[in-house]
Structure 1
Amino acid sequence: MDKRIILQPPSLREKMISITPYLDGLKLGDYQDKLVHLYQTDSHLNQSVPASIRESVEWLLRQVNCYYSNRIEGNPTHPKELLKIQAPQTQPINNLPATRSKALQELLAHLEVQLRLKKRQTSADEITTQDFIKELHRSFYQGLPEDQLVVRNQDGEIALDEQGSPLLVVPGEYRKHLVIVGGHEPPPARELTSYMDWLQRSFTLSKIHGTNRVIAAASLHHRLAWIHPFLDGNGRVIRLLTDCYMRHSGFGGYGLWSITRGFARDTKAYYNALAQADKVRQGMTDGRGTLSDGGLAYFIKYFIDTALDQISYFSELLEPRKLNLRIDIYFEMRAKGALPAAPDEELPLLKLAARDIYKYLLDRGPQTKSDICAYLGKSEQSLRATFKQMESERLINISKDKYYKASLSTHVIEYLFPQLW
Structure 2
Amino acid sequence: MALTPYITQDRAPGDLKDAALELIQLDASLNANILDPLRTPMIHLQRLVNSHYSNKIEGNSASPADLLLAQETPVGGEAAPDFLEVKHHIEAQIRLSIDPIDAASICTRESIACIHRELYKGLPEKHLRLKVEAGDERVPLVPGEIRKRGVKVGHHIPPPAEEIGSYLTWFENAYRLGRLHGLAPLLAAAGGHHRLLWIHPFTDGNGRAGRLFTDRYLKDGGLGGYGLWSVSRGFGRDIDAYYAALRAADRVRKGNLDGRGELSDSGLLKFTEYFITTALEQVRFVSSLLEPHILNHRIDHYFQMRTCCALLMTNGSALPILRIEALHLYRDLLEFGPMQYSEIQARLGLGESTTRNLLGQMLTEGLIDIDDERQVSMRLSGYSITTLFPDLF
- Give the TM interval when normalised to the shorter protein: over 0.9
Question: Is the CA contact (8 Å cut-off) linking 1:51 and 1:365 kept in structure 2?
Answer: yes
1:227 pairs with 2:205? no
Q: CA RMSD in A?
A: 1.8
Which amino acid in 1 is paired with 2:19? K
1:123 pairs with 2:108? no
- Structure 2: gaps spanning 5 or more residues: none
Q: CA deviation at 1:97?
A: 8.5
Q: CA deviation at 1:368?
A: 1.1
| Alignment partner, residue 250 of structure 1 | 222
Q: CA deviation at 1:336?
A: 2.5
- Which deviations, in whole Å up to 9, do the C-alpha atoms of 1:135-169 show, x marking residues without a partner? 111111232122212222468x54x4xxxxx2121
1:132 pairs with 2:111? yes
| Alignment partner, residue 19 of structure 1 | 3
Which amino acid in 1 is paired with 2:141? V
State the distance in 1 between where 2:347 and 2:121 align.
Answer: 48
Q: CA deviation at 1:237?
A: 0.3
Which of 31, 34, 38 does residue 16 from structure 2 map onto? 31
| Alignment partner, residue 317 of structure 1 | 289
State the distance in 2 between where 1:54 and 1:42 align.
Answer: 14
Which amino acid in 1 is paired with 2:181? H
Which amino acid in 1 is paired with 2:4? T
State the distance in 2 between where 1:55 and 1:229 align.
Answer: 33
Which amino acid in 1 is paired with 2:104? D
Question: Is the CA contact (8 Å cut-off) linking 2:310 and 2:318 kept in structure 1?
Answer: no
| Alignment partner, residue 178 of structure 1 | 150
Q: CA deviation at 1:377?
A: 3.9
State the distance in 2 between where 1:105 and 1:222 align.
Answer: 27
Which of 256, 260, 263 does residue 284 from structure 1 map onto? 256
Question: Is the CA contact (8 Å cut-off) linking 2:71 and 2:382 kept in structure 1?
Answer: no
State the distance in 1 between where 2:66 and 2:311 align.
Answer: 21
| Alignment partner, residue 103 of structure 1 | 82
Deviates more, 1:136-145 or 1:34-43: 136-145
Question: Is the CA contact (8 Å cut-off) linking 1:370 and 1:380 kept in structure 2?
Answer: no
| Alignment partner, residue 278 of structure 2 | 306
State the distance in 2 between where 1:400 and 1:186 align.
Answer: 52
Which of 251, 263, 266 does residue 294 from structure 1 map onto? 266
Which amino acid in 2 is paired with 1:296? L
Deviates more, 1:25-34 or 1:194-203: 25-34
State the distance in 2 between where 1:352 and 1:87 align.
Answer: 22
1:63 pairs with 2:35? no
Which of 166, 174, 190 does residue 202 from structure 1 map onto? 174
Q: Is the partner of 1:301 in helix, strand or coil?
A: helix
Q: Is the partner of 1:38 in helix, strand or coil?
A: helix
How many pairs does the alignment contain?
A: 392
| Alignment partner, residue 31 of structure 2 | 46
Q: Is the partner of 2:29 in helix, strand or coil?
A: helix
Q: CA deviation at 1:418?
A: 0.3
Which amino acid in 1 is paired with 2:52? Y
State the distance in 2 between where 1:415 and 1:328 align.
Answer: 10
Question: Is the CA contact (8 Å cut-off) linking 1:48 and 1:319 kept in structure 2?
Answer: no
Which of 113, 120, 126 does residue 141 from structure 1 map onto? 120
State the distance in 1 between where 2:213 and 2:259 align.
Answer: 26
Could you tell me the TM-score, scaled by structure 1's length? 0.89
Question: Is the CA contact (8 Å cut-off) linking 1:48 and 1:320 kept in structure 2?
Answer: no
Q: CA deviation at 1:206?
A: 0.3
| Alignment partner, residue 61 of structure 2 | 76
Q: Is the partner of 2:130 in helix, strand or coil?
A: coil
Deviates more, 1:341-350 or 1:31-40: 341-350
- Which deviations, in whole Å up to 9, do the C-alpha atoms of 1:262-310 show, x marking residues without a partner? 0000000000000000000011100001100000000000000000110
Measured at CA, do residues 384 and 60 of structure 1 come closer, stay the same or move farther in structure 2, by a change above 3 Å?
Answer: same
Measured at CA, do residues 343 and 85 of structure 1 come closer, stay the same or move farther in structure 2, by a change above 3 Å?
Answer: closer
Q: CA deviation at 1:229?
A: 0.6
